[in-house]
């Protein structure tokens, strides 16, 4: 049974702006009361790509989500705007029933029909997905409400013959075209790493779209997209000495591994650390003065409540972000911060977490630094 679909309504620019005004309490109090919104300042790199439309085919197929107009009401991405990394393989065959084979080091191999999974699917909540290769302009990042079946339930169909067996999940990846016939995407997990994972059959109340893994994909909450295998067709128990897969090796550095581990067991979890970035710098006019407000996203990490600080220009110190409230670690949240730039020029915007106990590997590397051009103050 599929729960209430929760399909996000796509807001046009005008209503999106109204939503921003409604949903953010201006900070400091009343700063934006009676102010008029002007055009946003430019955050450079975001202008280079085409957003919101699928481009390319197969392995080279992409769709970048545009985050510049995100509002608190729009934090579930509609299916047609959800980012794509790898479009459906041209050799996908949906004329026969899709099966998930269960085998490897098991007493008796088995299989599950995707249609049975779909029939048993239930709401798994809103979860964000980010491609580990989400570089500028950072459009490979989206969130949806997923439905599916916990992986642990599927694993109960088979008896592994070894206690230390790991679980390899792989998908169908036969693309046609030059240099595109590569080994399928697959990732190897311990059973504990899959404790919260599920086989997703629905996205925002709809059956999985073709480019997002129709009819079934793996979803591992909190991990980078590369582990969330689309067009899943095999679950195989493997031994402790199983080599890492070509797909894991391809993503080794982007998932913060030390070197490229030859064995799957030497891979660290491909989890997303706490992070964040600005998505727009708003300009408002109030009386004779110009007001700037930086709006951004925060996501990742293994705990919901964290604090982040922001640095606006290399010479400024870090200060706590004024309005940041993360109620869940599963998906992103919007924050905002009022800003009075000293003068025209370009400013690097960086975030950091002042709690040194919290791991922020990618944020600390400067990966999400954005540069804003301020023309007038
Ligand atoms: N079978 C298969 N699954 C795959 C991939 C792939 O190339 N083939 N790409 C992975 C990567 S790198 C990412 S980021 C996510 C993207 O999922 P999406 O396109 O639904 O956003 O799918 C993952 N699953
Ligand atoms: Mo990815």
pLDDT digits (tens, 9 = 90+) for 49-81: 789 999 999 988 999 999 999 999 999 999 999
Give phi and psi for 17, each to the nearest 5: -65, -40
- DSSP labels for 95-122? SS--EEEEEESBSS-EEEEHHHHHHH-E
Q: Contact at 8 Å (CB) between 250 and 225?
A: no
Residue-wise pLDDT tens digits, 187-232 = 999 999 999 999 999 999 999 999 999 999 999 999 999 999 999 9
362 in contact with ligand 1, CB cutoff 6 A: no
Alpha helix segments (H runs only) across the chain: 13-23, 114-120, 151-155, 246-250, 361-364
231 lines ligand 1 (CB under 6 A): yes
Q: Are 292 and 283 in contact (CB under 8 A)?
A: yes
Q: What's residue 307's pLDDT?
A: 85
The pLDDT, as a whole number, for residue 6 is 36
**Global confidence as pTM:** 0.91
Distance 224 CA to ligand 2 centre (A): 7
- Alpha-carbon span 187 to 201, nearest angstrom: 19
| Predicted confidence (pLDDT) per residue in 346-374, tens digit | 999 999 999 989 999 999 999 999 999 99
**pLDDT of 156-176, one tens digit each?**
999 999 988 999 999 999 887
Q: Is the pLDDT of residue 15 over 90?
A: no
Distance 100 CA to ligand 2 centre (A): 22
Q: 168: Cβ below 6 Å to ligand 1? A: no
| 18 DSSP β-pair partners | none
The residue nearest atom 16 of ligand 1, judged by CA position, is: 85
Q: Which of 82, 185, 209 to mutate to test the pocket of ligand 1 (most atoms within 8 A of CB)?
A: 185
The pLDDT of 269-289, averaged and rounded, is 96
pLDDT score recorded for residue 48: 57
Q: What is the mean pLDDT of the chain?
A: 90
Residues 6+ apart with CB under 8 A from 278: 43, 294, 295, 296, 349, 370, 372
- Which tokens go with 285? 């006019």
**Structure tokens that stand for 135 in this block:** 């570089």
Indicate the pLDDT class of residue 304, thresholds 50, 70 and 90: confident
> Does 68 sit behind a cis peptide bond, omega within 30 degrees of 0 on the bond before it?
no
């Amino acid at each position: 049974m599929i729960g209430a679909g929760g399909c996000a309504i796509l807001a046009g620019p005008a209503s999106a702006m109204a939503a921003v005004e409604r949903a953010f309490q201006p900070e400091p109090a009343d700063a934006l009361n009676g102010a008029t919104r002007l055009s946003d300042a430019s955050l450079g790199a975001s202008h280079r790509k085409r957003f919101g439309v699928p481009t390319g085919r197969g392995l080279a197929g992409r769709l970048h989500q545009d985050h510049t107009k995100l509002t608190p009401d729009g934090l579930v991405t509609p299916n047609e705007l959800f980012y794509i990394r790898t479009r459906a393989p041209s050799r996908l065959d949906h004329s026969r029933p899709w099966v998930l084979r269960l085998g490897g080091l098991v007493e008796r191999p088995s299989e599950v029909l995707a249609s049975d999974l779909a029939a048993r699917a239930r709401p798994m909540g809103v979860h964000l997905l980010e491609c580990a290769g989400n570089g500028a302009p950072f459009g490979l990042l989206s969130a949806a409400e997923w439905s599916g079946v916990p992986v642990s339930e599927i694993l109960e169909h088979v008896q592994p013959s070894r206690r230390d067996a790991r679980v390899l999940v792989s998908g169908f990846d036969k693309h046609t075209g030059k240099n595109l016939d590569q080994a399928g995407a697959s990732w190897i997990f311990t059973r504990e790493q899959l404790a919260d994972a599920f086989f997703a059959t629905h996205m925002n109340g709809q059956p999985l779209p073709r480019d997002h893994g129709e009819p079934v994909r793996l979803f591992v909450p909190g991990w980078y997209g590369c582990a969330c295998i689309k067009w899943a067709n095999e679950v195989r128990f493997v031994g402790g000495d199983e080599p890492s897969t070509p797909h894991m090796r391809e993503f080794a550095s982007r998932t913060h591994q030390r070197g490229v581990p030859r064995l799957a067991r030497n891979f660290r979890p491909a989890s997303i650390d706490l992070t964040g970035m600005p998505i727009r710098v708003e300009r408002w006019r109030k009386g004779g003065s110009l007001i700037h407000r930086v709006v951004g996203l925060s996501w990742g990490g293994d705990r919901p409540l964290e604090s982040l600080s922001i640095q606006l220009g290399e010479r400024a110190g870090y200060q706590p972000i004024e309005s940041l409230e993360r109620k869940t670690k599963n998906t992103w949240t919007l924050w905002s911060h009022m800003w009075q730039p000293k003068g025209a020029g370009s400013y690097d915007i960086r975030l950091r977490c002042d709690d040194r106990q919290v791991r922020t590997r990618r944020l600390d590397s400067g990966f999400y630094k954005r540069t804003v051009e301020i023309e007038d103050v």
